[in-house]
Structure 1
Amino acid sequence: MIARGSLWLPLAILLLLAALSFWIERSVELPASDSPSARTDPEGIMENFDALRTDPAGNPHYRLSARKLKHYSGSKRTELESPRFLQLGVQAGEVSAEARQATVSPDGHEVDLRGNVVVERAARPGQSAMLLRTERLLVFPERDRLRAPGAVNIRDATSNLRASAMEYDARQRVIKLTGRVQARYISGKS
């Protein structure tokens, strides 16, 4: 009997250790919803963010700044608070866009501005300054294009325009309005 009892004691201890190991593993393991790719906490936060992109010759092309930048590694999403986009092309002129918030695509080729978006085009010889207001604006900095998929209001020295959507090609300085378009010409004569 003593021989049998001495066999059961180590076996009981091994079973107890196996159960304890299983319990410890389960208690420290992250639930599936807390996996790194599903986390809602940003991986990095920067305040007073400012980035300048230059062309191959070293000339400034555009600047993107924000009060706060949050980057999420799982989704590769980047969010900006109070963003400001400034296009610095010598030929196309200076165009700036500001909004309440924005998201940047993982490859950086698209900036989605949302909430009280205001775009200003600086005056240049032969063209007056322009002011555009919308709720959402997609900026494609590498292609020098802006697109508003919703209602826009555009004002300059000679006209006031409203449209259902808009595309702007900064290289050619062409605005394409679509949907329901209303235009009002403002005479320069007093």
Structure 2
Amino acid sequence: MNARGSLWLPLVVLLLLAALSYWIERAVQAPSANGQVTKTSPEGIMENFEALRTDMTGKPQYRLSATRLKHYTGTKRTEMESPHFIQLSTETGEIDTTARQATVSAEGDEIDLQGDVRVVRAARPGQSAMTLRTARLLAYPESDLLRAPGPVDIHDDTLDMRAGGMTYYAKRRSIELSGRVKATYLSRKS
């Protein structure tokens, strides 16, 4: 009888350990509004987010900041409130972009800016600063490409322009306009 009791003791200890580990796992899981974590719940939330991307030599390429950043594990999507994106380039000049909100694709190669989007290209020798305003702008940082699928307003010292859509190639410093385009050339003041 003593031998049978010694066989049950390890089994009881193992069952107690299994129950304890199950209880600990449930106790440390992050709670959500209804008690369950869903695929649509953000994995992480950051306030006053700032990031700087550099090339292989350590030279800054662009800076990204936001008042709030949410990252979702299920879709690998990232959402930002009040994003501020600055492309830093000695060849093309600084391009400063702000919006009310933005979504970054799972691969990080597309940024969808929405709500009062404003893009300012810094002045360079021989070129004045240029301001672009639109409701939505798609930015492709790796390709140095900006695309506005809807109406845009563009202004610099010599030009006021409106168009139904736009694609901006930063490396070539060229703009392709689509839809109904209206341009007014302004005389330079001496």
The one-letter code matched in structure 1 to 2:143 is: R
- For the aligned residues, what is the CA RMSD? 1.8
Please name the residue that 2:105 is paired with: 105
1:38-88 Cα distance to aligned partner (Å, 9 max, x none):
533211000111111111111100111100000010111100000001000
Please name the residue that 1:66 is paired with: 66
Given that 2:119 and 2:132 are in contact with CA atoms closer than 8 Å, whether structure 1 keeps it comes out as yes
Please name the residue that 2:45 is paired with: 45
Alignment CA distance shift 1:158-1:83 (3 Å): same
1:189 offset after TM fit, Å? 4.1
1:77-130 Cα distance to aligned partner (Å, 9 max, x none):
100000001000110100011000000011111100000000000000011000
Q: Does 1:150 align with 2:122?
A: no
1:188 offset after TM fit, Å? 1.2
Q: Which shows bigger deviation, 134-143 or 180-189?
A: 180-189
Please name the residue that 1:183 is paired with: 183
Q: Distance in 2 between matches of 1:67 and 1:142?
A: 23
1:35 offset after TM fit, Å? 7.9
The one-letter code matched in structure 2 to 1:46 is: M
The one-letter code matched in structure 2 to 1:96 is: D
Q: Distance in 1 between matches of 2:41 and 2:185?
A: 50
Please name the residue that 1:138 is paired with: 138
Q: Does 1:77 align with 2:77?
A: yes
The one-letter code matched in structure 2 to 1:106 is: A
Q: Distance in 2 between matches of 1:186 and 1:115?
A: 28
Q: Distance in 1 between matches of 2:167 and 2:45?
A: 32
**TM-score when normalising by structure 2:** 0.79
Given that 2:40 and 2:74 are in contact with CA atoms closer than 8 Å, whether structure 1 keeps it comes out as no
Q: Does 1:122 align with 2:122?
A: yes
Given that 2:50 and 2:63 are in contact with CA atoms closer than 8 Å, whether structure 1 keeps it comes out as yes
How is 1:169-180 mapped onto 2 (pairs within 5 angstroms)? 169-180=169-180
5+ residue gaps, structure 1, are: 1-27, 29-33
Q: Distance in 2 between matches of 1:189 and 1:89?
A: 29
The one-letter code matched in structure 2 to 1:50 is: E
Q: Distance in 2 between matches of 1:148 and 1:52?
A: 24
Q: Distance in 2 between matches of 1:73 and 1:189?
A: 54
Q: Helix, strand or coil for the counterpart of 1:89? A: coil
Q: Helix, strand or coil for the counterpart of 1:172? A: coil
